[in-house]
Amino acid sequence: MPKLVVRSFTLSLDGFSAAPGQSQEAPFGKDGLRLMNWVFATRHFNAMYGRPGGVEGVDHDFMAKSDENIGASIMGRHMFGPPPDTKDKAAWKGWWGENPPYHHPVFVLTHEKKASIAMEGGTRFTFVNDGIESALKQAFTAAHGKDVRLAGGADTVRQYLKAGLIDELHLVQVPLLLGQGERIFEGLGGVEDLYECVEFTPSQAVSHLRLVKKKP
C-alpha cells in the first residue's frame, strides 16, 4: 500500500520548524534558515541543484532516502509562498526557481483559487481548496502507486498528524534554539498512543528519528 510519509522534516532544539517573520530572504523566518544547514552540507542537496560537492555520510544518506519512491507531494500555503514582502504575488511560482527539485505533482493547500502551474522538469503545482483529505486523495491518485510525501510546513504536518493520516515520519532534531515559531507537536495529546519512535540515528550534526503509526 502506498504511504503518506514525512521525510527530513527539521525541528530546532526547542521544537520549532520555522521562525516568525517569513520573507523572500528568509523562507524559514528570521534566522530560521540555519535549521537547514545540515541539508545544505550534503552531497544529495548539491546534486538536486546540479552542483558538485557536499559531504557523504548519515545526513546525505537520509536526504537521498527522502526522495525515494515518492510520486507526489503535499505542502501548505506558507511553504509554497509567496511571503508577505512579495510585490507581484500573482507571478509567484514557489521558492525553487523554474525547475523545482520535485519533478512530480505537488498539491498546495490554500484557500485561494488558482490555476495549476506547470514547471520545468515535471513539477506541477496544483492548488487544493477543499481540505487535507481531498489533497491526500488527489496526491495518491497522481502518485500512481508510489508514496506521497508531506513536505511541510509545521502547521500542515500537525493537521495530518492530528487526523492520524501520516504513516511514517522522519524527523531531524537540530541542536540550536529558534526561541519561537511553529511546532508540529502542539495540541496533540494522544499522539503518543498513535505513533512510536522506532529509530534513533544521530549524525555528528543532528539526530534522525523515525516514527511509525502503531499497529492497531
Stretch of residues binding a second copy (CB under 8 A), selected from 11-19, 48-56, 86-94, 135-143: 11-19
Closest CA to 133 of 154, 115, 148: 148
Q: Counting contacts by CB under 8 A, is residue 95 touching a second copy?
A: no
CA distances from 10 to 50, 113, 156 (A): 23, 29, 14
Stretch of residues binding a second copy (CB under 8 A), selected from 115-123, 126-134, 142-150, 195-203: 195-203
CA atoms lying within 13 Å on the CB side of residue 158: 15
Q: Are strands 4-12 and 147-152 parallel, antiparallel or unpaired?
A: parallel
Q: Which is nearer to a second copy, 6 or 143 (CB)?
A: 6
Can you say whether residue 18 is alpha, beta or left, with left for phi > 0 and alpha for psi between -120 and 50 degrees? Answer: beta
Q: Counting contacts by CB under 8 A, is residue 211 touching a second copy?
A: yes
**Three-point CA angle 6, 112, 162, nearest 5°:** 35
Q: Counting contacts by CB under 8 A, is residue 37 touching a second copy?
A: no
Among 14, 68, 85, 120, binds a second copy (CB under 8 A): 14
Q: Counting contacts by CB under 8 A, is residue 43 touching a second copy?
A: no
Stretch of residues binding a second copy (CB under 8 A), selected from 86-94, 103-111, 131-139, 182-190: 182-190
User: Which residues in 116-175 contact a second copy (CB under 8 A)?
Assistant: 171, 173, 175
Among 84, 118, 129, 177, binds a second copy (CB under 8 A): 177
Q: Which is nearer to a second copy, 36 or 188 (CB)?
A: 188
Centre a 10 Å sphere on the Cβ of residue 139 and count the other Cβ atoms it contains.
25
Question: And the C-alpha cell for 212?
Answer: 511509525
Which distant-in-sequence residues (6+ apart) come within 8 Å of 145 by Cβ?
2, 71
Q: How many binding residues for a second copy (CB under 8 A)? A: 31
> Rule CB under 8 A: which residues touch a second copy?
13-15, 31, 171, 173, 175-180, 183, 185, 188-193, 195-197, 200, 202, 204-207, 209, 211
